[in-house]
């Protein structure tokens, strides 16, 4: 008896196998392209997620640099500030290596201090990283303007202080630091204070209820850091 598989039937089977393989290969190529596409989209998404905060930060930094100091925070008329207090300064070149110094004013505007001072490139401090008060008083001796804030300053007001620190520190000696109530309390209703040590015998303070770049700008203009030979100046105006 002859075979039932004719040449034409064998040819048909080969054609069907080839068609099946072609469909399988096409489906595999589609799956591969789909996988590659999904991976590319995910990669771009990851890059975008990482890049967006960096872009936002860059734009925010540019915005800070482009704004004048007096637009940060509330206007002076809304800051609920007390008049400037004039202090009799003391303690120039009086270095105390350790131990707590009891200062005559809140916040301190002059007095004995540590031999070292806080670095200029860090203009803003949180409560967990703030240097000793005695260290920051040395910054006052070098002509820094210090802005102190209490624990009620949060949210937009805290961000305004952070932005002011970045803005002012580019051109002036300026540090923003949290105030430790164990060193004395601010007057009722006051949550921000400014202090500057102007000369061997002169220092100044001001309290405000709210953060105001306009008040800080006025204070800096009224009590600028002057170098020796150019009117009153900080006890060590050439210090970093």
How does pLDDT run across 52-88, given as a tens digit for each residue? 676 555 556 667 888 999 999 999 999 999 999 999 9
**Is the model's pLDDT at 48 over the cut of 90?**
no
Determine the 3-state secondary structure of 201 from DSSP. Answer: coil
4 pLDDT above the threshold of 70 = no
Q: What is the mean pLDDT of residues 11-20?
A: 77
Distance, in Å, from the CA atom of 56 to the CA atom of 47, rounded to the nearest integer, reads 14
Of the pLDDT bands very low, low, confident and very high (cuts 50, 70, 90), residue 166 is very high
By the 10 Å C-beta count (0-12 exposed, 13-18 middle, 19+ buried), 135 is classed as middle
Delimit the domains of the chain by residue range: 1-66, 73-222
Mean pLDDT of the region 122-151: 97
- pTM given for the model: 0.74
């Amino acid at each position: 008896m002859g075979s039932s598989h004719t040449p034409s039937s064998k040819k048909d089977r080969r054609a069907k196998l080839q068609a099946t393989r072609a469909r399988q290969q096409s489906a595999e190529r589609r799956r591969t392209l789909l996988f590659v596409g999904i991976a590319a989209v995910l990669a771009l998404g990851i890059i975008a997620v990482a890049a967006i905060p960096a872009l936002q930060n860059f734009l925010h930094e540019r915005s800070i640099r482009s704004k004048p100091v007096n637009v940060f925070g509330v206007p002076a008329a809304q800051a609920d500030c007390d008049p400037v207090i004039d202090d009799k300064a003391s303690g120039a070149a009086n270095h105390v290596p350790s131990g707590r110094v009891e200062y005559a004013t809140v916040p301190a505007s002059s007095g004995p201090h540590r031999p070292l001072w806080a670095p200029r490139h860090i203009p803003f401090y949180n409560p967990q990283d703030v240097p000793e008060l005695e260290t920051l008083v040395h910054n006052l001796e070098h002509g820094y303007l210090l802005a102190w804030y209490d624990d009620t300053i949060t949210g937009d007001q805290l961000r305004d202080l952070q932005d002011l620190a970045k803005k002012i520190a580019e051109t002036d000696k300026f540090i923003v630091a949290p105030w430790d109530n164990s060193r004395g309390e601010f007057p009722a209703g006051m949550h921000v204070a400014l202090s500057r040590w102007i000369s061997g015998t002169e220092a100044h303070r001001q309290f405000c209820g709210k953060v105001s770049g306009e008040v800080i700008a006025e204070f800096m203009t009224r009590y600028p850091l002057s170098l020796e030979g150019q009117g009153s100046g900080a006890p060590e105006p050439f210090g970093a």
